[in-house]
């Protein structure tokens, strides 16, 4: 099978490797679509993310869909949950598998992700896809899951005002979700014109100056200090600020006086929490549009070009189709 591995900063190489053999409680999956996430771009541009560093060539990619090959579920199209929690620790048993200290995650550390033609994966982490959803839709369920978990952390109630600061794919999905939740108004900031247009198409009001907005819930989805500060400036006293973005250099700073004087509650997003069933249902029933967030598709052999396109942020979501 062909595999696209990251060997160092900006160094993606496609090579032939043996097809993996599934172990107990695993299935062989033919990978059909992999979305490139902002965290994948950290691996590509920094050879790591946070305190995790690249110590051997890694197949990244954790937004995945595929088809089961062999076994009782042969031929079933599935979305692939990238997280494998231990299911035994205190966090798992308390219903927080995303906080499992022993979680293994596709395309992170030593565990290969989806940029390959086949992968062996725990069968319990493979979610059936309705026929109406495309393979790319299946890959988009992971970022939608992150948006759903972020929404949960925002404690949004009917009639609140919301700010979304950063309109990449997850930000655009949040724009859709908060309207489903009955937000009175959704304000957004985004420096790129084509992403501004996309946010407006999904129902957001683009603002140049967030001062005075006084939103009830602010979602920072850019991973930059200016976006964090913008979210806090736009937040009303007593509001919740949900930090979704992952910063370069593993550091976030903001003016403490703004957050302190407003008494803001800050929530940090750690991936997602068992959101696949909800995400599948929302897309299948037409409540959330993930297909139009996908702007670019590349074959596996052009994985390096796919990463360069994603880094340049010329479109929205880049998908590789092994």
pLDDT, tens digit, for every residue of 158-177? 999 999 999 999 999 999 99
Average pLDDT of 131-157? 98
CATH topology identical between 2-129+290-321 and 145-268:
no
Mean pLDDT over the full length of the chain: 96
* Token pair in block for residue 104: 């293994």
d(CA 125, CA 1): 22
- 3-state class (DSSP) for residue 305: helix
Query: For 2-129+290-321, which CATH class?
Result: alpha beta
d(CA 274, CA 64): 15
Domain range list for the chain: 2-129+290-321, 145-268
CATH superfamily of domain region 145-268? NAD(P)-binding Rossmann-like Domain (3.40.50.720)
Average pLDDT of 2-13? 97
Question: What pTM did the predictor assign?
Answer: 0.96
> Among 243, 106, 260, which residue's Cα sits nearest to residue 171?
243
pLDDT at res. 159 = 97
Provide the 10 A C-beta neighbour count for residue 30: 16
Q: Rounded to the nearest 5 degrees, what angle is found at the Cα of 166, between the Cα atoms of 44 and 170? A: 70
Q: Is the pLDDT of residue 239 over 90?
A: yes
pLDDT, tens digit, for every residue of 37-59? 999 999 999 999 888 899 999 99
Q: Is the pLDDT of residue 212 over 90?
A: no
SS (H, E, C) 182-245: CCCEEEEECCCHHHHHHHHHCCCEECCCCCCCCEEEEEECCCCHHHHHHHHHHEEEEEEEEECC
Region for 266 from its dihedrals, namely left if φ exceeds 0, alpha if ψ lies in -120 to 50, beta otherwise: beta
d(CA 247, CA 225): 8
pLDDT, tens digit, for every residue of 274-313? 999 999 999 999 999 999 999 999 999 999 999 999 999 9
């Amino acid at each position: 099978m062909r595999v696209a591995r990251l060997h160092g900063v900006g160094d993606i190489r496609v090579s032939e490797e043996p097809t993996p053999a599934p172990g107990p409680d695993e299935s062989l999956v033919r990978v059909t679509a992999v979305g490139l996430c902002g965290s994948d771009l950290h691996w590509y541009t920094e050879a790591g993310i946070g305190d995790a560093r690249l110590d051997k060539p890694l197949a990244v990619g954790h937004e995945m869909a595929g088809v089961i090959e062999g076994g009782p579920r042969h031929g079933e199209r599935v979305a692939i949950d990238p997280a494998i929690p231990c299911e035994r620790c205190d966090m798992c048993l308390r219903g927080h598998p995303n906080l499992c200290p022993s979680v293994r995650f596709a395309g992170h550390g030593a565990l290969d992700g989806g940029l390959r033609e086949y992968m062996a994966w725990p069968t319990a982490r493979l979610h059936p896809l309705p026929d109406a959803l495309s393979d790319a839709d299946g890959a988009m369920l992971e970022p939608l899951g992150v948006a759903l978990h972020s929404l949960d952390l925002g404690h949004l109630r009917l009639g609140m005002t919301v700010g979304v600061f950063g309109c990449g794919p997850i930000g655009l999905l949040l724009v859709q979700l908060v309207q489903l939740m009955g937000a009175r108004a959704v304000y957004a900031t985004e420096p790129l014109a084509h992403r501004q247009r996309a946010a407006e198409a999904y129902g957001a009001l683009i603002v140049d100056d967030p001062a005075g907005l006084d939103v009830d819930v602010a979602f920072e989805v850019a991973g930059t200090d200016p976006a964090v500060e913008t979210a806090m400036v736009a937040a009303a006293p007593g509001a919740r600020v949900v930090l979704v973005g992952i910063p370069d250099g593993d550091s976030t700073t903001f003016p403490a006086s703004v957050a302190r004087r407003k008494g803001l509650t800050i929530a940090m997003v750690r991936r997602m929490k068992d959101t696949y069933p909800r995400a599948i249902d929302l897309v299948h029933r037409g409540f959330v549009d993930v297909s139009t967030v996908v702007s670019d598709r590349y074959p596996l052999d052009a994985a390096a070009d796919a990463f360069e396109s994603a880094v340049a942020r010329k479109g929205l979501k880049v998908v590789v189709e092994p």
